[in-house]
Each structure stands twice: as structure tokens, then as C-alpha cells.
């Protein structure tokens, strides 16, 4: 069996683009052209999984990544891996287990998805960036020197910001009525929101490098090509509907309330922990998440191109 590159969450937000991009990049690699690509999914029968299975060199395997052992990694001869972990409160326990097993199995290189760079610190009031900080600290320890890694710290994903705008436009076109427009962005602070597909493309470029040592222990900041403010989102909507938006709520994180009610209320998860997520947007409101923070290495590897206007058009056409 030939060595493989594992894509955890291959049908997810970022993993799909990794799986779609990587086969072409490997063809031109002097050292990786013979590697298999394993696209991991929880359902091999999903439409996305079935599309990925048609790609040359891609093998779709149904497997819950949190149950992957060192023996499983050895059996599949995993040499490199991509992982976009969940943001549940037990992320650290499950992701660190994956990395410990990768180290034990002799995996050479891992590319992982982190979160907004300004939040990845031990004192972040939101719980999930602290988990990413802890994972990066673990990987950066001397005990993990035999496992090369890169952590991608992407800004907020464009669909999360632009989907409310698209739904607002669609409803107005259908009914002529306006609800309150709820935007997570502040009115004036510029934010470099990024398309998750482009995060996946960047990860694929890293995984296809003949020499990964230049990216070892790197924490790269990813933003889209342009900044956008809440007011600019409103302006875009008004251009589409031809009339002023009557009522806007900026800095709206009420979706966390709904997330807790529908996903966590019936569980034993701490409400205090889940609700701390509301503070994850504060650094964006403070102007700390603009395109000026993008790592130069990202611009050299695969500079993001899709703008908020491009995403809005896609959402409206879909």
C-alpha cells in the first residue's frame, strides 16, 4: 500500500475544497505524486462524498475522526493529514488525542484549522479560541518535534456574515416586506471575512509542498481579499432591493441563544461556557481583524480572491 494524505471532514466547510484541489497539485509534485488521498466522511452516501469519490486518486472512507487510533493511521499509511476540528467544548480532548496518535503513528505533517487570530490566546473570553491556543501550545512543545504542523487562523467565514443579507433580499423580493436585519459585524469596523473554500485551497497547497519544513510550527493568518463593514453590507442590500433598509441591528450575536436552545439545552454542557462564544466577535468590533493582518506566506501560496459581493451573488443564485 502506498502512503496517503488524510483529509478529516472532507465533506465539510473547508475539507471539501482540500479534497477537490489536492489531486491536481499532487500531479506536479516530485515527491508526492504517488500518494493516495483519503477523504474521511461520516456518510459515504452523501452527495458531496459521492462527488469526491469520482476524483482521481481520492478514496472516500466512512469513519468518525474522533475514533481514529494510531493503529488506524499506520494501517492506512498516513504520511500527512488535514483536520478541521469541531468547536464543541470537548474539542481539546478529541483533537489532542488525534495529534498524539498521529505522533505515535509517525505521521510527518498536519495542517489544522484554527480560528480568528486575534482570539487565539489564553485569556480570550470566548471558550473555543482558548482550545485552539492550547492545541497550538501542545503541538509546539518539544515532545511533538517529530510531527511537523501548520495552523491556519482564518477570519470569520463569509457565508456566516452574508447569509442574513441574502435571506433579507430574498424575502423582500418575494413579499415586499422587511424584517429587522441582524448583522454580526459592527457598523464601522473593517473585517476581512473569508470564503471557507479558499481556506481549503490554501490547506491543499500546504499539504502538497515537497518540503514542509519551511511551514513547520507556522501560524498563518487568513483573510479575504477585501475588508467589509456592517454599513457596507447594508449598502449592498439596498443596491439589490432598491430601497433603504428600515431597521438594522449591528453586533448581533443572538444566534448563540438559538444555538444553545436547539443544540445544547438538553445536554449537560455549561450554559456559561456556550454563551461565552458571544464575546468571540469583540476583536472584530475593535478593528483587530482586517485584511492588514494577513500573513504574507498566504498571499504567496494562494491569495484569496472571492469578495463578499461574490459570495452574496452565489447565495442569491443558489
HSE-up (13 A, CA, CB side) for residue 288: 12
Nearest partner of 141 among 90, 99, 88, 198, judged by Cα:
99
Name all domains of the chain by residue range, CATH numbers in brackets.
4-156+195-222 (3.40.50.720), 158-191+226-289+306-317 (3.90.25)
Give the CA angle between residues 224, 227, 228 to the nearest 5°: 115
Q: Note the pLDDT tens digit of each residue in 257-268.
A: 999 999 998 888
Q: Note the pLDDT tens digit of each residue in 149-159.
A: 999 999 999 99
| Total length of the chain | 318
Q: What does the DSSP assignment read for 99-132?
A: HHHHHHHT--EEEEE---GGG-STT-SSHHHHHH
Does the pLDDT value for residue 281 go beyond 80?
A: yes
Q: Note the pLDDT tens digit of each residue in 155-207.
A: 999 999 999 999 999 999 999 999 999 999 999 999 999 999 999 999 999 99
For residue 241, give every residue at least 6 positions away whose Cβ sits within 8 Å of its Cβ, in sequence order, or none.
169, 172, 173
Res 51: pLDDT: 94
Average of per-residue pLDDT across 258-279: 93
Does the pLDDT value for residue 93 go beyond 80?
A: yes
**Cell numbers describing residue 298:** 498566504
Instruction: Assign 1 a pLDDT band (cuts: 50, 70, 90).
Output: confident
Average of per-residue pLDDT across 68-78: 98
Question: Residue 233 in 3-state DSSP?
Answer: helix
Residue 24 to residue 164: CA distance in whole angstroms: 35
Amino acid at each position: 500500500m502506498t502512503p496517503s494524505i488524510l483529509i478529516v471532514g472532507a465533506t465539510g466547510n473547508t475539507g471539501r475544497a482540500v479534497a477537490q484541489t489536492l489531486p491536481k497539485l499532487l500531479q506536479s509534485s516530485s515527491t508526492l505524486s504517488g500518494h493516495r488521498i483519503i477523504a474521511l466522511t461520516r456518510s459515504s452516501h452523501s452527495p458531496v462524498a459521492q462527488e469526491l469519490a469520482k476524483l482521481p486518486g481520492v478514496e472516500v472512507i466512512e469513519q468518525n475522526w474522533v475514533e481514529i487510533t494510531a493503529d488506524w493511521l499506520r494501517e492506512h499509511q498516513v504520511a500527512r493529514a488535514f483536520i478541521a476540528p469541531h468547536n464543541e467544548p470537548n474539542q481539546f480532548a478529541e483533537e489532542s488525542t488525534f495529534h498524539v496518535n498521529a505522533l505515535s503513528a509517525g505521521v510527518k505533517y498536519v495542517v489544522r484549522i484554527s480560528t480568528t487570530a486575534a482570539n487565539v490566546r489564553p485569556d480570550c473570553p470566548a471558550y473555543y479560541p482558548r482550545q485552539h491556543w492550547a492545541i497550538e501550545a501542545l503541538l509546539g512543545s518539544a515532545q511533538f518535534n517529530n510531527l511537523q504542523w501548520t495552523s491556519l487562523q482564518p477570519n470569520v467565514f463569509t457565508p456566516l456574515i452574508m447569509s442574513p443579507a441574502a435571506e433579507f433580499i430574498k424575502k423582500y423580493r418575494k413579499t415586499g416586506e422587511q424584517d429587522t436585519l441582524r448583522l454580526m459585524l459592527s457598523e464601522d469596523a473593517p473585517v476581512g471575512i473569508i470564503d471557507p473554500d479558499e481556506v481549503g485551497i490554501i490547506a491543499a497547497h500546504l499539504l502538497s509542498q515537497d518540503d514542509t519544513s519551511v511551514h513547520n510550527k507556522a501560524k498563518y493568518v487568513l483573510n479575504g481579499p477585501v475588508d467589509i463593514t456592517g454599513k457596507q453590507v447594508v449598502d449592498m442590500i439596498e443596491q439589490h432591493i432598491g430601497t433603504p433598509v428600515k431597521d438594522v441591528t449591528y453586533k448581533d450575536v443572538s444566534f448563540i441563544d438559538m444555538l444553545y436552545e436547539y443544540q445544547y439545552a438538553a445536554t449537560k454542557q455549561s450554559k456559561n461556557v456556550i454563551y461565552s462564544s458571544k464575546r468571540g466577535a469583540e476583536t472584530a468590533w475593535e478593528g483587530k481583524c482586517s485584511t492588514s493582518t494577513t500573513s504574507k506566506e498566504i498571499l504567496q501560496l494562494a491569495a484569496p480572491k472571492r469578495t463578499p459581493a461574490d459570495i452574496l451573488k452565489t447565495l442569491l443564485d443558489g
